[in-house]
Amino acid sequence: MQIAEDIAATSNQTGPGRPGDPCIMVIFGASGDLTKRKLIPALYNLAKDNLLSKEFALVGLARNELSSEQFRDMIGKEIGEYATTKVDADLWHWLARRIYYLAGDFDDAAVYAKLCDLLSQIDKEHGTRGNYFYYLATAPSFFAPIVKQLGAAGLVTEETGWRRVTIEKPFGRNYDSAVALNKEIRQVLDEKQIYRIDHYLGKETVQNILVFRFANGIFEPIWNRRYIDHVQITVAETVGVEQRGGYYDKAGTLRDMVPNHIFQLISLTAMEPPISFDADVVRDEQAKILKAIPPPTDEEVLVRTVRGQYGEGVQDGVKVPAYRAEPMVPPDSRTETFVAMKLFIDNWRWADVPFYLRTGKRLPKRTTQIAIQFKRAPFVLFRKTAVDRLEPNRLVLHLQPDEGISLSFSAKVPGPVVQIGDVNMNFNYTDYFNATPQTGYERLLYDCMLGDATLFQRSDMVETAWHVVAPVLDVWEALPPRKFPNYAAGTWGPPEADELLTKDHRHWSTGE
């Protein structure tokens, strides 16, 4: 099967492969947490696995007044804290001497003139062949202004090498703003230059969804409405908003998680087999799934969606505050910290199969999982036995914190009486492949360097996802929540989230 060979050849995050292209990576917002906690450790891991070109360099750009030496010293002190493996001093020295820093405001044209000169200097010194990619690790309000400044300074033209721009989420805050942002940046960039990043797609198990489905002949034939009863996607966090209250209160869980992370998981789970692993071929199939999700009517929003906000509670034996008592959160905030929804995919494969999703903060367990529940076998054979009910088979793809796959099925308990017990088969990446810890950004940065956009969102995918959730945002804005907070920290959300399934005679998967 050609697709299985294509996927297997490209899905190994740090397996055998050629190094990325010679290039300079420019991080806008280089003094932020993302750079020190994820991006620098990911670059170090790529260098350790010989996937970073020997002709690579990095420029950090932020407002802080630092020299290149001071910036190197700062991240050098932090790499040991955030690296996923023990840091080799010689390798870090090799990488550190390729790191530079430029101080300035993102909206100052003079800064981009200095950046142009610095890139030319680094290009000559390290032989990066005129290839640059810009990583926007900034507040969303800077995305369009930075792209416009890069365009005005001539830093995105591809006369002497390639130019790419990687944009963090959130990409817009609703449908209209996403369309407007796409229009603004496409006045400067071609679509092939834009890499809208979602770090969830850097996780090994997310990439393995396609391999699992299309490289195993026993699963794809039953991956449809005839055999699958429903699908559940859970993205649960134990943390609160921490120090992000100012941002989070303007966004909320729906905007922060659903149109990007969760819809990406839905599209990978439900898509049709692509004819190849080419980036646009795969994304075409993902886009078809998103376009097949009917936006809910106002009435459906009221009965198929649940929102919640955590109150004070206890987690791991420690009392934690309510959302409204968190730093920079208004005491009367109406922002949701929990979302549950019931969606359908209106195509031949998935007609009438509900997709349930839930995501929230201050939940009892940190987990991201996709649970595929199959239809129950007919009970008729067991009517005159001690068996009173049959449990459905359930396949669970665990994405974090433990990456793996589990399958539950029924077997006879030994003895003279017919009794059935549940059996769980568990596969864990670390047990089978001796996988080394990763940040989740390694594969994505590597793909940027290779020009492979398979794991990045295309403009039509972003806009379609916002279009689906637009009615939910509208109804929730028009009808303020009646009783916030409505779940205690350390619990699985408001009771209405359980009712969303129990009224369909189903229940949430624990994923155990």
Active-site residue (options: 126, 230, 261, 467): 261
Tally the residues of the chain. Answer: 512
CB neighbours (10 Å) of residue 168?
A: 19
Q: How many CA atoms lie within 13 A of 444 on its CB side?
A: 26
- Which helix (H) or strand (E) segment is 407 a member of? strand 404-412
DSSP state of 452: -
CA separation for the pair 303, 436 (Å, rounded): 44
Under a CB-based contact definition with an 8 Å cutoff, are residues 82 and 37 in contact?
yes
Under a CB-based contact definition with an 8 Å cutoff, are residues 275 and 281 in contact?
yes
CA separation for the pair 296, 91 (Å, rounded): 53
Active site residue 467: no
3 state DSSP class of 298: helix
Closest CA to 294 of 344, 347, 349: 344
Report in angstroms the alpha-carbon separations of 246 from 33, 105, 241, 251.
16, 21, 9, 9
DSSP string, 9-36: HHH-TTSS-PPPPSEEEEEETTTSHHII
Under a CB-based contact definition with an 8 Å cutoff, are residues 334 and 307 in contact?
no
Q: How many CA atoms lie within 13 A of 306 on its CB side?
A: 23
Nearby residues of 307 by Cβ (< 8 Å), 6 or more positions away: 253, 254, 336, 338, 339, 476, 481
Residue 494, token pair as written in the block: 């408001």
Mapping DSSP onto H, E and C, the string for 33-51 reads HHHHHHHHHHHHHHHHCCC
Active site residues: 261
